[in-house]
A = this chain, B = another copy of it.
């Protein structure tokens, strides 16, 4: 497989960064995981916008423009001949002075890698069994909105899901609310309303979260930003997670508590599938 590294396509086994790269030292960087369908990246612009807003927040100057990097991504996909794939973009601050200060790091590292999609059809349609994880995210943390390379809480949450034989871990914030999945955003249906935690609860501003809210608007469904405690899942009409790499996936169980199936989840899911299958004109 070829990967993109600072403007060049190189063999993945030769793709390395300095041990002084601040991405390696401190997780001082950002990334995006995008889905490639039939050779085309889904929602490139939205991912790019989150990446650049994050870069502004961290004061990292990305040395490529949107169309420029999109061209490199297209070349990467074509050269690897991988039409159904995940694309990861990583931007780290690069090498600077010793210590936490970001001073002197003038050359960010930019990497793009492609990953084959490994999933069977059953995997995509069955409801997920999820567990709540031990680590707490800081409530109200604005930095959480961006997909930074500080993902240990998510790595450990995922390890807890693995240990429990679950499909995903849900993560709580320091207020005790369930706010997102380790690699997904959370939705639930209550009183016929599609609910999701507010960005201010300290969650990732997921691209697929926005697509789901768009879909709800299109379908005329009521939506609300709301809060939920682990025990309250027993009372919801349905729940699902959203993630760029998989789309919309129903939650069947939270910590052993069975969750009902809402027709709304199916409608949102069908609409999303339409978009990514290219049947929807806006989906590209």
**Which A residues fall within an 8 A CB radius of B?**
3, 5, 12, 15-28, 31, 58-59, 86, 90, 92, 98-103, 111, 113, 115, 135-141, 143, 148-159, 162, 174, 182-183
Docked-complex contact B19 and A17, CB < 8 angstroms: yes
Please state the number of chain copies in the assembly: 2
Closest chain B residue to A16, Cβ basis: B16
**21 sampled A-B residue pairs with Cβ under 8 A:** A12-B19, A15-B18, A15-B20, A17-B19, A19-B111, A20-B113, A26-B149, A26-B154, A59-B159, A100-B154, A100-B155, A100-B157, A100-B158, A100-B183, A135-B138, A135-B141, A135-B143, A136-B141, A143-B152, A149-B152, A174-B174
- CB within 8 A of A152: which of B15, B58, B101, B135? B58
- CB within 8 A of A155: which of B26, B140, B159? B26
* Best-buried of A24, A59, A150, A156 by chain B (most CB within 10 Å): A24
Docked-complex contact A182 and B100, CB < 8 angstroms: yes
Q: Is the interface of A mostly helix, strand, loop or mixed?
A: mixed
Measured between beta carbons, the chain B residues less than 8 angstroms from A141 are 135-136
State how many angstroms separate the Cβ of A10 from the closest Cβ of chain B.
9
Measured between beta carbons, the chain B residues less than 8 angstroms from A23 are 24, 27
